[in-house]
């Protein structure tokens, strides 16, 4: 008897000891990440993993200001043609290699020259790198580029161990070596990604977990059930429809942040033959469609009021939002008047939409609203890969798609609405808009940039090549025992300062 | 027996080749561009072109097929477009998971389905038969995703008895592995049990009416011996057929069940691969599943010969 008691006590102590000394944080993700190579990867969840795995040259604050991470300071040359960065000393990669100016140069070269690199367009403006000394790097630009710092605050600014990158080449993502707070341990596709604490981390005092396990659980109901059952400590992208029940749960905390991206309807204006229709050819009809939609009701009906109604590429909470054009009230009469002005009583349009239940439901609400103004929408549900292909090939009239959003405003607008923009699937083209958006891209003066975006907004608000509808709100649900989590509008999970409550 | 097996295996080879051609062409007919799906939001045209060339997507389709089947014959099934892992390694990672789930689900189905079928045939027309039929019908009609979510909410969230989802390899921690697999196996197993029960019942009904069963009874043998030794053994042939077919189906992956319980098996892999147009992965899995299915069929034929001596000499 006495012995079994001792054994039980020992066991209890043993358990207490393991829970105190091996703190594993389990995070539920909506999807599985793709390849874990910052130069090649493309998924949102991949970036969430990188936030723990790979440090960047700079980071952002929740208010989108650029702050130091691996670079401690930076300075633009007077002509905006060079960016000189001072680097943090004493930083090592997970394989023990030192982080220095030569490493930065090697990383930028990899982003620019690796044939598989998806970062080329993000670091395109860099003409050359110059190692000034061990901890100073100078980036010489081809043309002034105000967006560069924001690019370096994301995947393009993530620093990989140059030695590992050279050895592994295109397969780097199978065993990534960076300099973040956690190092790569193992990955089982569709099951888990495990990172463990890196003791040599420069900011190790702020890290309070021994390991982090990311578990992709696509079904939102199941993800929440796992959190409730204690199998997860936190999850990202709680479904808006589960918000009320998660808030009512005493054991859970809910955090939210309006995202940087948008959802809207892209209209084919000049992309092949399918653009030859009233919606594509007549801006008044596009405006009528926009006016027929009650964005607040849309948000309440489909997203339980959790998202942010919108009408611009930036959410109303963004400093770049043009307040002169607030989210319009629904006005069916005005919409009908616009149709009349365009010489029609009603129009038939086809809108393609991704075949997932939420987007379908959202577009059905839009469909019902537009019908009251005389705009009859035919919805064509397509699986996403097909939708994307048809959209870029011009095989569509209008397409319900979104954009995940970028820290710098340029990333939400330039490539969509300039004549040669890489993702300008509507092929909207007005030289005066190009001039304004180009100007905003090169100026490093915030007021000057804002003025250029506002001037472009005046034109775009008349043209409406994209009818913006809403901005997704990131919703995280956390077990109450987690302390110190800060929601960011980029949807990332930063673990500095996060811990289990004692 | 050896000649029979050799003949069956020889016939299997062209079948597998035909399946591989069929799947290869069929998935090329899918709309959507794999490169566009993997290029990321920015879709840099230069990268798109490079990837098309790298994965030979610009070659004529028959050349693509020859290139793939040539590699496959040498044991190289290509690499995943999405994660760059070799497809063979991926299959090696997922196959044990799928087999474990299939074996557990089928065991549950057999333990429930066969006795239920025997009893309901033996007690035909009584309340036992009626009850077994109702249970079997509900097993067939309740959708797996619904039963799965209900089980998670009840057993894991409410009672906290089992982990809600996830997977632990059998080699790592057998007990925990069984704990994570028991709910999905149960969800799959109950559906299959219903099928098995119905087949067992109809086979048993046929056999129980036959002359040799009457003779056995007339000889004064006990009911248990009559039912188990004389009737059930003869009723087993159709049950073996159904069981092997069910097992073959399970090996193809149980998409919905795996999705709900986040079991990293074939089902989840193939769905992700289809949506991302990850051709190499889809082809690899279909090839693997086809081989498994054919192997199960050959095994079933061999089993008939063991169960029923009359089938041995054809």
CATH number at residue A188: 3.40.190.10
Residue pair B261/B253 in contact (Cβ under 8 Å)? The answer is no
Q: Do B157 and A120 touch (CB under 8 A)?
A: no
Q: Are residues A165 and A238 in the same domain?
A: no
Q: Are residues B271 and B185 in the same domain?
A: yes
Q: Give the pLDDT confidence score for residue A416 in this predicted structure.
A: 95
| A125 falls within a domain | yes
Q: Do A32 and B272 touch (CB under 8 A)?
A: yes
Q: Are residues B61 and B203 in the same domain?
A: no
Q: Are residues A204 and A235 in the same domain?
A: yes
Query: pLDDT class for A54, splitting at 50, 70, 90?
Result: very high
pLDDT over 70 at A472, yes or no: yes
| A87 falls within a domain | yes
Using a CB-CB distance cutoff of 8 angstroms, which residues of chain A are in contact with residue B271?
none
Split into its structural domains, chain B has a count of 2
The alpha carbons of chain A give a radius of gyration, in whole angstroms, of 25
pLDDT over 50 at A20, yes or no: no
Q: Are residues A391 and A317 in the same domain?
A: yes
Lowest mean pLDDT among A167-171, A216-220, A460-464: A216-220
Nearest neighbour of A423 by CB, restricted to B43, B93, B260: B43
Give SS3 for A470.
strand
End position of a domain, from candidates B73, B107, B133: B73
Q: At A301, which helix (H) or strand (E)?
A: helix A295-303
Instruction: Give how far Cα B204 sits from Cα of B109, B198, B227, B245, Å.
Output: 17, 10, 9, 19
Q: Are residues B221 and B263 in the same domain?
A: yes
CA distance B61 to chain A (A): 19
What tokens appear for A439 in the block? 């100007």
Specify the DSSP class assigned to residue A56.
Answer: B
Q: At A403, which helix (H) or strand (E)?
A: strand A398-403
Q: Are residues B272 and B146 in the same domain?
A: yes
Q: Are residues B122 and B46 in the same domain?
A: no
What tokens appear for B234 in the block? 């003869």
Residue pair A372/A346 in contact (Cβ under 8 Å)? The answer is no
| B83 falls within a domain | no
What sign for the dihedral angle of Cα B133, B139, B142, B147? positive
Query: pLDDT class for A206, splitting at 50, 70, 90?
Result: very high
Domain, as residue range, for B133:
88-311
Q: Are residues B132 and B39 in the same domain?
A: no
Q: Do B165 and A174 touch (CB under 8 A)?
A: no
Give yes or no for A35 touching B (CB within 8 A).
yes
Exposure string of A425-437, with b = 16+ CB inside 10 Å and e = fewer, is: bbbbbbeebbebb
How far is Cα A35 from Cα B83, in angstroms, rounded to an integer?
4
CATH number at residue B290: 1.10.3720.10
Q: Are residues A458 and A380 in the same domain?
A: yes
Across residues A151-171, what is the average pLDDT? 96
How far is Cα A141 from Cα A147, in angstroms, rounded to an integer?
12
Using a CB-CB distance cutoff of 8 angstroms, which residues of chain A are in contact with residue B268?
190
Give which of B10, B293, B222, B256 is closest to B148, Cα–Cα. B256
CATH number at residue A296: 3.10.105.10
Residue A91: half-sphere exposure toward Cβ, Cα within 13 Å: 29
Q: Are residues A104 and A163 in the same domain?
A: yes
Specify the DSSP class assigned to residue A57.
Answer: S
CA distance A87 to chain B (A): 29
- The residues pairing with A211 across neighbouring beta strands, listed in sequence order, are A24, A196
Q: Are residues A300 and A388 in the same domain?
A: yes
Q: Are residues A213 and A304 in the same domain?
A: no
Split into its structural domains, chain A has a count of 3
Per-residue pLDDT of chain B (314 residues; tens, 9 = 90+): 778 888 888 988 899 889 889 888 887 887 778 888 777 777 778 888 888 888 888 888 889 899 998 998 898 998 888 888 899 999 998 989 999 999 999 999 999 999 999 999 999 899 999 998 888 888 888 988 899 999 999 999 999 899 988 888 888 899 999 999 999 999 999 989 999 999 999 999 999 998 989 998 999 888 888 888 888 888 888 888 899 889 988 887 788 888 889 888 888 888 888 888 888 899 898 888 888 888 888 888 888 888 777 776 65
Q: Are residues A94 and A83 in the same domain?
A: yes
Q: Do B43 and A115 touch (CB under 8 A)?
A: no
Residue pair A155/A50 in contact (Cβ under 8 Å)? The answer is yes
Nearest neighbour of A42 by CB, restricted to B38, B152, B268: B38
| B78 falls within a domain | no
Strands (E), A155-297: 182-188, 192-197, 211-216, 234-235, 252-258, 262-267
Mean predicted lDDT score pLDDT of chain A? 93
| A200 falls within a domain | yes
For the question of an ipTM over 0.85, the answer is no
Q: Are residues A281 and A362 in the same domain?
A: yes
Q: Are residues B181 and B243 in the same domain?
A: yes
Q: Are residues B113 and B237 in the same domain?
A: yes
Nearest neighbour of A221 by CB, restricted to B46, B149, B163: B149
Contact map slice: A 106-135 vs B, CB within 8 A: 115-118, 120-122
Q: Do B90 and A189 touch (CB under 8 A)?
A: yes
Q: Give the pLDDT confidence score for residue B290 in this predicted structure.
A: 87
Specify the DSSP class assigned to residue B155.
Answer: I
What tokens appear for B46 in the block? 């230069």
Place of tokens 């039963």: B147
Q: Are residues B161 and B271 in the same domain?
A: yes
Nearest neighbour of B264 by CB, restricted to A117, A189, A388: A189
How far is Cα A464 from Cα B116, in angstroms, rounded to an integer?
66
Domain, as residue range, for A481:
27-32+183-258+474-500
| A363 falls within a domain | yes
Specify the DSSP class assigned to residue A318.
Answer: S
Q: pTM for this structure?
A: 0.88
Specify the DSSP class assigned to residue A477.
Answer: E
| A14 falls within a domain | no
The alpha carbons of chain B give a radius of gyration, in whole angstroms, of 24
- DSSP letters spanning A405-441: --SSTHHHHHHHHSTT-TT-TT----HHHHHHHHHHH
Query: pLDDT class for A2, splitting at 50, 70, 90?
Result: very low
Give SS3 for A10.
helix
Instruction: Give how far Cα A172 sits from Cα of A38, A70, A125, A186, Å.
Output: 9, 21, 25, 14
Residue pair A5/A82 in contact (Cβ under 8 Å)? The answer is no
Nearest neighbour of A171 by CB, restricted to B84, B149, B163: B84
Give SS3 for A337.
helix
| A61 falls within a domain | yes
What is the CB neighbour count within 10 angstroms for residue A126? Answer: 21
Query: pLDDT class for A290, splitting at 50, 70, 90?
Result: very high
Could you tell me how many CB contacts below 8 A there are between chain A and chain B? Answer: 134
Residue pair A264/A405 in contact (Cβ under 8 Å)? The answer is no
Pairing of strands A347-354, A482-483: unpaired
pLDDT over 70 at A3, yes or no: no
CA distance A377 to chain B (A): 23
Q: Are residues B200 and B272 in the same domain?
A: yes
Residues 6 or more apart whose CB falls under 8 angstroms from that of A203 comprise A181, A496
CA distance B265 to chain A (A): 8
How far is Cα B156 from Cα B145, in angstroms, rounded to an integer?
16
Instruction: Give how far Cα A161 sits from Cα of A33, A155, A193, Å.
Output: 21, 14, 20
Contact map slice: A 355-394 vs B, CB within 8 A: 382-386, 388-390, 392
How far is Cα B312 from Cα B126, in angstroms, rounded to an integer?
38
Q: Give the pLDDT confidence score for residue A21 in this predicted structure.
A: 52
Q: Are residues B66 and B94 in the same domain?
A: no
Using a CB-CB distance cutoff of 8 angstroms, which residues of chain A are in contact with residue B33?
385, 388-389
Q: Are residues A231 and A112 in the same domain?
A: no
Q: Do A390 and B165 touch (CB under 8 A)?
A: no
Q: Give the pLDDT confidence score for residue B37 in this predicted structure.
A: 75
How far is Cα A347 from Cα A335, in angstroms, rounded to an integer?
12
pLDDT over 50 at A152, yes or no: yes
What sign for the dihedral angle of Cα B245, B248, B253, B258? positive
What tokens appear for A243 in the block? 């918000």
Instruction: Give how far Cα B117 sits from Cα of B112, B129, B136, Å.
Output: 9, 9, 9
End position of a domain, from candidates A139, A173, A207: A173
Place of tokens 């590992």: A164
Residues 6 or more apart whose CB falls under 8 angstroms from that of A476 comprise A234, A235, A236, A238, A254, A255, A256, A485, A487, A493
Lowest mean pLDDT among A249-258, A360-369, A485-494, B85-94: B85-94
Collect contacts of B202-205 with beta carbons under 8 A, ≥24 apart. B202/B121, B203/B117, B203/B235, B203/B236, B203/B237, B203/B238, B203/B239, B204/B117, B204/B118, B204/B121, B204/B122, B204/B231, B204/B232, B204/B235, B205/B121, B205/B124
| A213 falls within a domain | yes
End position of a domain, from candidates A145, A173, A201: A173
**Among B27, B37, B45, B47, the residue to mutate for chain A (most A Cβ within 10 A):** B47
Phi-psi region for residue A85, left (φ > 0), alpha (ψ -120 to 50) or beta?
A: beta
Give which of B145, B160, B189, B180 is closest to A222, Cα–Cα. B145
Query: pLDDT class for A187, splitting at 50, 70, 90?
Result: very high
Strands (E), A20-81: 24-29, 58-60, 66-68, 71-76
Give yes or no for A422 touching B (CB within 8 A).
yes
- DSSP letters spanning A108-120: HHHHHH-TT-S-G
pLDDT over 60 at A14, yes or no: no
Residue pair A371/A323 in contact (Cβ under 8 Å)? The answer is no
Place of tokens 């072109």: B49
Q: Are residues A467 and A478 in the same domain?
A: no
Q: Do A423 and B166 touch (CB under 8 A)?
A: no
| A2 falls within a domain | no
Q: Are residues A413 and A430 in the same domain?
A: yes
Strands (E), A276-331: 308-309
Q: Are residues B169 and B28 in the same domain?
A: no
pLDDT over 80 at A422, yes or no: yes
């Amino acid at each position: 008897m006495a012995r079994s008691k001792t054994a039980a006590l020992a066991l209890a102590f043993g358990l207490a000891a393991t829970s105190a000394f091996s703190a594993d944080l389990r995070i539920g993700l909506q999807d599985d990440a793709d390849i874990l190579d910052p130069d090649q990867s493309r998924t949102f969840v991949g970036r969430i993993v990188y936030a723990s795995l790979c440090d960047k040259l700079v980071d952002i604050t929740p208010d989108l200001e650029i702050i130091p991470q691996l670079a401690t300071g930076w300075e633009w040359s007077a002509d905006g043609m060079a960016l000189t960065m001072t680097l943090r000393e004493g930083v090592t990669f997970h394989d023990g290699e030192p982080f220095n100016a030569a490493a930065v140069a090697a990383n930028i070269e990899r982003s620019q020259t690796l044939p598989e690199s998806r970062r080329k367009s993000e670091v395109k403006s860099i003409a050359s790198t110059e190692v000034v000394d061990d901890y100073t790097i100078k980036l010489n630009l081809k043309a002034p580029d105000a967006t560069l710092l924001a690019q370096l605050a994301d995947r393009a600014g993530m620093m990989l161990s140059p030695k590992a990158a050279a050895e592994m080449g295109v397969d780097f993502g199978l065993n990534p070596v960076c300099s973040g707070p956690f190092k790569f341990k193992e990955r089982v596709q569709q099951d888990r990604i495990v990172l463990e604490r890196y003791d040599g981390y420069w900011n190790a005092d702020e890290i309070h977990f021994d390991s982090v396990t990311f578990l992709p659980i696509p079904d939102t109901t199941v993800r929440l059930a796992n959190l409730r059952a204690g199998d997860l400590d936190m999850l990202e992208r709680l479904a808006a429809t589960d918000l009320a029940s998660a808030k009512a749960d005493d054991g859970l905390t809910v955090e939210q942040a309006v995202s940087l991206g948008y959802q809207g309807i892209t209209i084919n204006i000049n992309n092949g033959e399918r653009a030859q229709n009233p919606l594509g050819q007549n801006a008044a009809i596009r405006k009528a469609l926009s006016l027929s939609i009650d964005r607040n009701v849309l948000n309440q009906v489909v997203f339980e009021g959790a998202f942010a109604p919108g009408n611009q590429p930036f959410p109303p909470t963004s400093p770049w939002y043009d307040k002169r054009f607030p989210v319009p009230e629904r006005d069916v009469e005005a919409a009908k008047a616009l149709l009349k002005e365009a010489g029609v009583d009603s129009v038939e349009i086809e809108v393609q939409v991704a075949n997932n239940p939420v987007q379908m439901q959202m577009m059905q609400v839009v469909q019902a609203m537009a019908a009251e103004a005389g705009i009859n929408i035919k919805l064509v549900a397509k699986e996403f890969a097909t939708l994307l292909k048809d959209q870029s090939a011009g095989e569509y009239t209008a397409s319900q798609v979104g954009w995940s959003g970028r820290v710098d405003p340029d990333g939400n607008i330039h490539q969509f609405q300039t004549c040669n923009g890489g993702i300008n699937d509507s092929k909207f083209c007005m030289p005066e808009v190009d001039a304004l958006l180009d100007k905003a891209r090169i100026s490093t003066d915030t007021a000057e940039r804002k003025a250029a975006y506002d001037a472009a907004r005046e034109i775009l608000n008349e043209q409406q090549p994209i009818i913006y509808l809403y901005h997704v709100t990131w919703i995280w649900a956390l077990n109450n025992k987690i302390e110190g989590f800060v929601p960011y509008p980029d949807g990332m999970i930063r673990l500095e300062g996060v811990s289990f409550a004692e | 027996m050896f000649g029979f097996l050799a003949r069956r295996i020889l016939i299997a080879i062209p079948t597998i080749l035909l399946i591989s051609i069929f799947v290869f062409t069929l998935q090329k007919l899918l709309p959507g561009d794999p490169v566009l799906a993997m290029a990321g939001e920015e879709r840099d045209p230069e990268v798109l072109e490079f990837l098309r060339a790298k994965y030979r997507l610009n070659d004529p389709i028959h050349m693509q097929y020859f290139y793939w089947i040539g590699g496959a014959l040498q044991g190289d099934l290509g690499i995943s477009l999405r994660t760059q892992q070799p497809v063979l390694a991926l299959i090696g990672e997922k196959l044990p998971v799928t087999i474990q789930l299939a074996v557990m689900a089928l065991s549950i189905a057999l333990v429930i389905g066969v006795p239920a079928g025997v009893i309901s045939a033996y007690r035909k027309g009584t309340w036992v038969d009626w009850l077994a039929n109702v249970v079997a019908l509900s097993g067939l009609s309740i959708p797996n995703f619904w039963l799965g979510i209900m089980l998670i909410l009840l057993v894991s969230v409410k009672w906290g008895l089992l982990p809600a989802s996830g997977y632990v390899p059998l080699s790592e921690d057998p007990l925990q592995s069984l704990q994570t697999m028991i709910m999905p196996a149960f969800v799959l197993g109950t559906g299959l049990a219903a099928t098995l029960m119905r087949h067992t019942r109809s086979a048993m009904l046929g056999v129980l009416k036959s002359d040799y069963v009457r003779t056995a009874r007339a000889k004064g043998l006990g009911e248990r011996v009559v039912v188990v030794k004389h009737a059930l053994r003869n009723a087993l042939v159709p049950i073996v057929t159904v069981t092997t077919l069910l097992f073959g189906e399970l090996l193809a992956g149980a998409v919905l069940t795996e999705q709900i319980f986040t079991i990293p098996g074939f089902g989840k892999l193939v769905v992700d691969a289809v949506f991302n147009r990850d051709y190499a992965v889809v082809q690899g899995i279909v090839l693997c599943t086809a081989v498994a299915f054919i192997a199960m069929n050959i095994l079933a034929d061999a089993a008939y010969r063991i169960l029923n001596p009359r089938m041995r000499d054809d």
